[in-house]
């Protein structure tokens, strides 16, 4: 492969230099994990998405942080859908299944002037933990109200509305144990939480994952898919709006579609469009086979 089409899309934001950046690379063959990991490390986005269409015509998708492959990523799935749409591989208003290590994920792109993307993600549910780690209170500026684990591997902590979430400083080396592989810090929205598409948000969060090579992820689709059902149950609604109060902010509409799944809707901004020149990608069909048989 002399060169490969590649994009950088800022997901869950219509504004430039906001949202969560994701590289999207369109492969001609099933590249090796080592090559994809090396490229993701060079691009240094929260995640880089790699798309390959197998001989049966199925679109396969994998995600890599700068340091590891991950089983689920919402913002890079939205970016992948926008990438396919940009390259003329995904028609407006026509749903498409992307096959991943988390099964088939349905995506669709609207025909609006500013396309809206819907991504349906699995939501594995929260597991109550009786005692939050003692170190979290001082780190977060207040005792946690609730603390959960999850099958996804993320830990989730609910903090009081008066905790200044936007100003919170969480050093990467301050997180301990399982919290390092994904800690969602969330609270109810307040008067200063920005609106989303003219509508008030219901909750806001931040996400830290130094164990995955991401000190802080700006706008995290998988985290919102995980916690949105809890807020829906609490508010007795079938949809909620979530905001991520990071330095590159953004948000999304979260809707219950069927048990165990949440549909996230948002937009993205195309920052650059070009070619990757990185020969030596190899070919590893077996590494992709598990996706096509999901």
| Within a domain: 122 | no
| Within a domain: 182 | yes
Q: Are 133 and 250 found together in one domain?
A: yes
* Six token digits for residue 182: 């994904």
CATH of the domain at 224: 3.10.310.10
The pLDDT score that the predictor gives to residue 294 is 47
Q: Model's pTM, two decimal places?
A: 0.95
- Active-site choice (10, 15, 28, 47): 47
Q: Are 161 and 101 found together in one domain?
A: no
CA distance 122 to 187: 22
Q: Are 124 and 151 in contact (CB under 8 A)?
A: yes
| Within a domain: 201 | yes
| Within a domain: 121 | no
| Within a domain: 263 | no
Environment class of 66 (CB within 10 Å of its CB; exposed 0-12, middle 13-18, buried 19+):
middle
* Six token digits for residue 264: 């996230």
Q: Are 91 and 134 found together in one domain?
A: no
Q: Are 288 and 198 found together in one domain?
A: no
| Within a domain: 236 | yes
Told to judge if 47 belongs to the known catalytic residues of this protein, a careful annotator would answer yes
CA-only gyration radius of the chain, Å: 18
Q: Give the structural domain span for 49.
A: 4-116+268-292
CA distance 132 to 51: 39
Q: Which single residue is written with the structure tokens 């001989």?
A: 55
Cβ within 8 Å of residue 167, ≥6 positions away: none
Q: Are 169 and 228 found together in one domain?
A: yes
Q: Are 48 and 73 found together in one domain?
A: yes
The pLDDT score that the predictor gives to residue 8 is 98
| Within a domain: 159 | yes
Q: Are 161 and 237 found together in one domain?
A: yes
Q: Are 78 and 106 found together in one domain?
A: yes
Q: Are 224 and 146 found together in one domain?
A: yes
Q: Are 251 and 273 found together in one domain?
A: no
| Within a domain: 108 | yes
CA distance 185 to 207: 6
pLDDT along the chain (294 residues), means of 10: 90 94 97 97 97 96 97 97 98 97 96 95 95 95 95 97 94 96 97 94 98 96 98 98 95 95 97 94 88 60
Domain count, the chain: 2
Q: Are 9 and 92 found together in one domain?
A: yes
Q: Are 83 and 161 found together in one domain?
A: no
């Amino acid at each position: 492969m002399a060169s490969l089409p590649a994009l950088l899309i800022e997901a869950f934001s219509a504004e430039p230099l906001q949202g969560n950046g994701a590289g999207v690379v369109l492969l001609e063959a099933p590249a090796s994990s080592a090559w994809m990991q090396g490229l993701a490390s060079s691009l240094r986005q929260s995640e880089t998405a790699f798309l390959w269409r197998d001989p049966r015509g199925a679109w396969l998708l994998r995600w890599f942080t700068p340091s590891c492959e991950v089983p689920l990523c919402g913002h890079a799935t939205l970016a992948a859908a926008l990438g396919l749409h940009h390259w003329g591989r995904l028609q407006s208003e026509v749903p498409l299944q992307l096959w991943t290590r988390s099964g088939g994920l349905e995506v669709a792109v609207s025909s609006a002037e500013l396309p809206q993307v819907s991504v349906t993600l699995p939501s594995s549910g929260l597991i109550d933990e009786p005692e939050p780690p003692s170190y979290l209170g001082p780190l977060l500026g207040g005792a946690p109200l609730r603390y959960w684990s999850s099958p996804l591997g993320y830990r989730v902590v609910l903090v009081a509305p008066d905790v200044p979430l936007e100003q919170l400083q969480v050093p990467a080396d301050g997180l301990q144990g399982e919290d390092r592989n994904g800690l969602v810090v969330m609270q109810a929205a307040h008067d200063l939480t920005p609106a989303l598409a003219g509508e008030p948000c219901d909750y806001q969060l931040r996400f830290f994952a130094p164990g995955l090579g991401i000190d802080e992820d700006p706008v995290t689709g998988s985290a919102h898919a995980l916690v949105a059902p809890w807020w829906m149950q609490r508010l007795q609604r079938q949809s909620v709006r979530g905001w991520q109060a990071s330095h590159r902010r953004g948000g999304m509409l979260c809707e219950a579609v069927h048990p165990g799944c949440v549909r996230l809707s948002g937009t993205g901004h195309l920052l650059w469009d070009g070619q990757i020149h990185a020969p030596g990608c190899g070919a590893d069909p077996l590494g992709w086979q598990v996706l096509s048989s999901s």
